[in-house]
Structure 1
């Protein structure tokens, strides 16, 4: 390479800025990191990459031959189904018992690790090239989480820029999260909201529910609607929408409002007693909290489009509902 050609080299960010003169460099850098620029039809993500003038070979937008999105259900683990995948995010459907993210105290597998192993499998290099423009390893990043024994859909970011966009939506309450739950109690009205303050203990494990704000407490807001009432057993099937999303929020607020979730081993008194007494029958025979993350709705970090994903309640909750409905018919 001659000295003149070296001097004519600039970074990818410099050339991209020339291509988009009306956009701030900071935003262009984010676009590069999220894979929105292509060089000779391949995605490039390193803003500091030096090169001579690429001319028309540098374009804004994904290459036409790349897979824009993958949207069919594929089981990638006995307890995890991949629902949707693109270069920014993945949507997975988790069964009860699988952790969402790794924790310090538990060496069990998590949904985040399962997805990482799947995406970075040596046999999947072609897939990584088609989605991410490179065979380089992908690092899934948590956006939110579900309790280990809560089932349902989970959103996972696949780059830092997408994660920032999605977390911003969470904080501004634009990230739709709806759940189906079975509360052991009668709802006072057909729909309403729960507003309390929650404060974690020093270990960061147990929540304390408060009715007034104190130092270290955060307001928790949950909206509910009764989808069906099983009067014989005084059970309410609830559709719940989170406005805020604190640890154990739905579970502790449901219990505080007279509808502890069936099977909840922390907040349902009957389940607590049965667990403590060896061999005792669990209420309704249900082994985990009857809570399922049924709907996620987001604004896509790159396209700006509103997209929604839904998950049917799993088999154990279907059987619970069937038993409740049959008892109702026999009343």
Structure 2
């Protein structure tokens, strides 16, 4: 079975309703955002296909060696570590069919990210990948204001060998207060494979969320096709804007919770920062608990229901299904994570019409 058949089979097996963001390239981990603590020896090759004829070397390399930034790839080319048919060429070289691109380099970076004994929920692991069910409140990797307590710190403790990989093997992100599934690579080749699958949009991601709006109202917006970019005045926010990047969200199904609230199953077809949160707010169905794109509870709620919504301390969003092609075996892999307890409890309260 080839790659396309495997993914078709995976998609066809997905349930119509799970009880369904975050950021195509926007939530990708660039290998230069690295926490590597030891040098990584790289040896990668690629044979140019008919479809790739005439593409500039630097542009093609950015597509096929997706774990590295354009700046790093240009450096590899300029220093002769990335060659064509064994020869040093310029970044603007137009590739020909059958050209053999070879990348041989030592990739180094420096980091102060330290191992921390933090519990993590490991759904699956083998020699190439780890699947994590991330809790709410955990930042994926260190950054300004979050140097410790992140998933990367936890990975470095539980899997010390991850230290030789950029970002400890991360290939994508979800927001701090979004729960659910993340895939972690255990080798450089697995990391590159998974990053490229994300770029090719062949990674299958479904989310569950609790949103404002009756089922029939929400399903009027089953396909939300609206570009997303940085908000013009609030730089920490994203917004639908014509100058933004293409973004496509598919609402697969909606389940009744209350006359004004629904449980949605969402297929993320691209991965822009805050995509689901921005898109649902844009069409008038913001997530419960969203501190940035949300809204106040509407009328028609009992006191208990209103309090439950007001007290829900995060966006009610959970990455419940993740599918991809295994980077070593070529098998179609699919994983599920149940709804976290806080969302289950909120659903029970909204469902209780006797209050």
2:134 aligns with 94
1:173 aligns with 201
Within the alignment, does 1:194 sit opposite 2:234 as a pair? no
1:321 aligns with 347
Larger radius of gyration: 1
Shift of 1:228: 1.0
- What secondary structure is seen at the aligned counterpart in 1 of 2:287? coil
2:45 aligns with 26
Deviation readout 1:166-217 (Å, 9 max, x if unpaired): 111112111011110000123425471111111125896321212x3x2xx2
1:306 aligns with 332
2:316 aligns with 290
Deviation readout 1:229-284 (Å, 9 max, x if unpaired): 2343x00100011000111000111111111100000011228xxxxxxxx95735
Q: If the length of structure 2 is used for normalisation, what is the TM-score?
A: 0.60
Deviation readout 1:120-175 (Å, 9 max, x if unpaired): 2xxxxxxx7xxxxxxx9553222111100011111111222111111111121110
Structure 1 pair 25–296 and aligned structure 2 pair: CA distance change class (3 A): closer
Counterparts of 1:94-243 in structure 2, within 5 Å, are 94-120=134-160, 138-139=164-165, 140-187=168-215, 188=217, 190=219, 192-200=222-230, 205-210=236-241, 212=242, 214=243, 217-232=244-259, 234-243=260-269
Q: Aligned partners of 2:283, 2:337: CA distance in 1, in Å?
A: 26
- What secondary structure is seen at the aligned counterpart in 1 of 2:246? strand
- What secondary structure is seen at the aligned counterpart in 2 of 1:177? strand
- 1:222 and 1:244 in contact (8 A); partners too: yes
Structure 1 pair 104–189 and aligned structure 2 pair: CA distance change class (3 A): closer
- What secondary structure is seen at the aligned counterpart in 2 of 1:179? strand
Q: Aligned partners of 2:189, 2:144: CA distance in 1, in Å?
A: 26
Q: Aligned partners of 1:228, 1:151: CA distance in 2, in Å?
A: 20
Aligned residues: 231
Q: What is the Cα-based RMSD across aligned positions, in Å? A: 2.7
Shift of 1:25: 8.2
- What secondary structure is seen at the aligned counterpart in 1 of 2:136? coil
**Could you list the runs of 5+ residues in structure 1 that have no partner in the other structure?**
1-23, 29-75, 121-127, 129-135, 272-279
- What secondary structure is seen at the aligned counterpart in 2 of 1:199? strand
Decide which moves more: 158-167 or 100-109: 100-109
2:39 aligns with none
